[in-house]
Chains A and B, each alone.
Chain A
């Protein structure tokens, strides 16, 4: 039986930035298990990014609970949350968000450095990960010397560097062309199959939706549909 990694219960998020409150999430109950390759889809403003931010500990819910790897993250302090994210969650952002002054290798190493891993270990893992995403020959290039697709692959390598429990990817293919998107999805799908890595995407890119194994449809802050479209196919070893 698969382990539950993410569990939300009656998750609400209301933004009160103007006089009119905006209900981004209105009671989301969700359970994501180890090894899933899940896409959260829905139109703009449906609450996809908000849900991802809350799951990632970047934002707090207005109501409801959220457990990640069995821990109620709403009870953690800001500093504890940073440590929690560092250990448990890999992030892939729409705009890659690599550190511009660091090389691809240093970007991937950086998160392990924050985890205080020893130099040899982090160097080896960073090189291995960059090779795995097909950038073995670009490890010393800075982000501005890489294409968008290559930068996003570095971002995936960085997300995996800390050996997280799962990877949250917010519109990871929004800025990529078809070839780069296909390459990126191949890499993530392989990692999912080979290492049983859990991926949760927020997307409205059909190319991602087509590859997802589970699709959760959000509409007006509520899950309108949740379906398994493909069974995970772990590689036989």
Chain B
């Protein structure tokens, strides 16, 4: 085998121009595939991260029926024992408590529907980094009538730090809910929908506002990794009374986003596969030319005693070598570009931003650096090489030394 590898490597080197041209086509395919996938996945990851970290968390537990009805009457006790059970699940990292519902907010001459979310400021900040998202003012102080609002909401309602927002809603079991909160901070949550309607207030204030003492609308659970979600959800389903509680993963909480992501990724995959198909045919063409050009040489090798299998191994290794050179070069070129767009995401202009916002996505093109995207290209090239190798397999098996040497 060492001899076959040596022969294949030297053959690649022998016809440098052919090797480089073919490898260059693989390189460009790999580069575009990596850059495209990284930017696409990065943009979605950014959107998802924004939604998961700002709002949904990875898993939520509610009173049964809450999510569908979003009713303030379907609340649950903020029980430490229950919280401990949630925290004991495998993979569970943090359990956040939240009381939220829609309300009508008023300030100056403006009135707007908002989502008032009562949170434990320290606990929520440890997961959502709300403090880091502040573009003005400061974060919440527990037990004070303060609010942090989204930047678009502040614009719509002409609210600045230090102004007061008045909210009215329906409280728990028909109570009237009325409250006023001083704006301490204005934040950019990264998600258009949140920027337009989110109002964070301390949990105790929300419980007072909704007349729901020691009650919560949801427990928000974070896991140590997104890969643990299924395991944790399963644990809850086994250990909680599913007649009383509903356990929902983020995929169930924001299905439209997940679906849009899947559709977008599927359409991109089709484009990538077409790109690879074109490159594959390019390589196949080179392989066919190479086989024709070296027919005499292969005939001689067979004549002196080299078996078709060994010849095929040599040619397949040459094709694989070209593929590897191309993928490695494509990855090397793609890495700094992907890294650049990861560190310096492109903020889209107004026209494109509107389209993104329609899908509740942050109008930001941001790449992700994920080794899996790079591995995928290696796998794709390997599979492509396997398919392309079918041609020399049959061609070399059929090759008759005398006919080959008559060329």
Q: Which A residues lie at the B interface, using CB under 8 A? A: 53, 56, 58-59, 79, 82-83, 85-86, 91, 93, 97, 99-102, 110-111, 113-115, 158, 162
Question: Closest residue to A97 on the B side, CB-wise?
Answer: B300
B305 to chain A: which residues have CB within 8 Å? 82-83, 85-86, 111, 114-115, 162
In the complex, what distance in Å separates the CA atom of A59 from the CA atom of B302?
12
Question: Closest residue to A59 on the B side, CB-wise?
Answer: B402
In the complex, what distance in Å separates the CA atom of A91 from the CA atom of B405?
13
B10, B297, B304 — most chain A CB neighbours (10 Å): B304
In the complex, what distance in Å separates the CA atom of A85 from the CA atom of B297?
17
> Are A86 and B304 in contact, CB atoms less than 8 angstroms apart?
yes
Quote the shortest CB–CB distance from A114 to chain B (angstroms): 5
B301 adjacent to chain A (CB < 8 Å): yes
Contact size range, B: 20 to 34
> Are A58 and B401 in contact, CB atoms less than 8 angstroms apart?
yes
A100 to chain B: which residues have CB within 8 Å? 14, 297
> Are A101 and B307 in contact, CB atoms less than 8 angstroms apart?
no
> Are A93 and B307 in contact, CB atoms less than 8 angstroms apart?
no
Q: Which B residues lie at the A interface, using CB under 8 A? A: 3, 7, 10-11, 13-14, 296-297, 300-307, 310, 400-402, 405
Question: Closest residue to B310 on the A side, CB-wise?
Answer: A114
Which residue of A97, A101, A162 contacts B7 across the interface (Cβ within 8 Å)? A101
Given A58-B401, A97-B296, A113-B3, output 7 extra A-B contacts at Cβ < 8 Å: A59-B402, A79-B307, A97-B297, A101-B7, A110-B3, A110-B304, A114-B306
Quote the shortest CB–CB distance from A96 to chain B (angstroms): 9
22 contacts between A and B (CB under 8 A): A53-B402, A58-B303, A58-B401, A59-B400, A82-B302, A82-B307, A85-B304, A86-B305, A93-B300, A97-B297, A97-B300, A97-B405, A99-B7, A100-B297, A101-B7, A101-B13, A102-B7, A113-B3, A114-B305, A114-B306, A114-B310, A158-B304
In the complex, what distance in Å separates the CA atom of A56 from the CA atom of B401?
11
User: Contacts A53-B402, A59-B402, A113-B3; is A101 near B14 (CB within 8 Å)?
Assistant: yes
Question: Closest residue to B397 on the A side, CB-wise?
Answer: A78
Quote the shortest CB–CB distance from A53 to chain B (angstroms): 5
Closest 3 CB pairs of A and B: A86-B305, A101-B10, A97-B300
In the complex, what distance in Å separates the CA atom of A111 from the CA atom of B401?
16
Which residue of B7, B297, B304, B307 contacts A91 across the interface (Cβ within 8 Å)? B304
Quote the shortest CB–CB distance from B305 to chain A (angstroms): 3
> Are A93 and B3 in contact, CB atoms less than 8 angstroms apart?
no
Quote the shortest CB–CB distance from B407 to chain A (angstroms): 11
B301 to chain A: which residues have CB within 8 Å? 99
B11 to chain A: which residues have CB within 8 Å? 101
Could you tell me the dominant secondary structure of chain B's interface residues?
helix
A53, A56, A59, A82 — most chain B CB neighbours (10 Å): A82
In the complex, what distance in Å separates the CA atom of A91 from the CA atom of B297?
14
Quote the shortest CB–CB distance from B1 to chain A (angstroms): 11
B306 to chain A: which residues have CB within 8 Å? 82, 114
Quote the shortest CB–CB distance from A165 to chain B (angstroms): 14
> Are A102 and B10 in contact, CB atoms less than 8 angstroms apart?
yes
In the complex, what distance in Å separates the CA atom of A53 from the CA atom of B303?
10
Question: Closest residue to B11 on the A side, CB-wise?
Answer: A101
> Are A58 and B402 in contact, CB atoms less than 8 angstroms apart?
yes
A85, A97, A115, A162 — most chain B CB neighbours (10 Å): A97
In the complex, what distance in Å separates the CA atom of A149 from the CA atom of B300?
19
A82 to chain B: which residues have CB within 8 Å? 302, 305-307
Quote the shortest CB–CB distance from A98 to chain B (angstroms): 9
In the complex, what distance in Å separates the CA atom of A226 from the CA atom of B300?
30
A162 to chain B: which residues have CB within 8 Å? 305
Quote the shortest CB–CB distance from A88 to chain B (angstroms): 10
> Are B304 and A56 in contact, CB atoms less than 8 angstroms apart?
no
> Are B303 and A91 in contact, CB atoms less than 8 angstroms apart?
yes
In the complex, what distance in Å separates the CA atom of A85 from the CA atom of B405?
16
In the complex, what distance in Å separates the CA atom of A53 from the CA atom of B129?
81
In the complex, what distance in Å separates the CA atom of A93 from the CA atom of B404?
13
Quote the shortest CB–CB distance from B403 to chain A (angstroms): 9
> Are B14 and A111 in contact, CB atoms less than 8 angstroms apart?
no
B307 to chain A: which residues have CB within 8 Å? 79, 82
A113 to chain B: which residues have CB within 8 Å? 3
A59, A99, A102 — most chain B CB neighbours (10 Å): A99
A93 to chain B: which residues have CB within 8 Å? 300, 405
In the complex, what distance in Å separates the CA atom of A162 from the CA atom of B10?
24
B300 to chain A: which residues have CB within 8 Å? 93, 97
Quote the shortest CB–CB distance from B64 to chain A (angstroms): 71
In the complex, what distance in Å separates the CA atom of A100 from the CA atom of B13?
11
User: Contacts A53-B402, A93-B405; is A111 near B7 (CB within 8 Å)?
Assistant: no
B400 to chain A: which residues have CB within 8 Å? 58-59
> Are A85 and B3 in contact, CB atoms less than 8 angstroms apart?
no
Quote the shortest CB–CB distance from B200 to chain A (angstroms): 70
Question: Closest residue to B305 on the A side, CB-wise?
Answer: A86
B7 to chain A: which residues have CB within 8 Å? 99, 101-102
In the complex, what distance in Å separates the CA atom of A24 from the CA atom of B178?
109
A101 to chain B: which residues have CB within 8 Å? 7, 10-11, 13-14
B10 to chain A: which residues have CB within 8 Å? 101-102
A83 to chain B: which residues have CB within 8 Å? 305
In the complex, what distance in Å separates the CA atom of A16 from the CA atom of B347?
72
In the complex, what distance in Å separates the CA atom of A230 from the CA atom of B302?
35
B296 to chain A: which residues have CB within 8 Å? 97
Quote the shortest CB–CB distance from B349 to chain A (angstroms): 55
B11, B303, B306, B310 — most chain A CB neighbours (10 Å): B303
B402 to chain A: which residues have CB within 8 Å? 53, 58-59
In the complex, what distance in Å separates the CA atom of A17 from the CA atom of B307?
26
In the complex, what distance in Å separates the CA atom of A110 from the CA atom of B10?
15
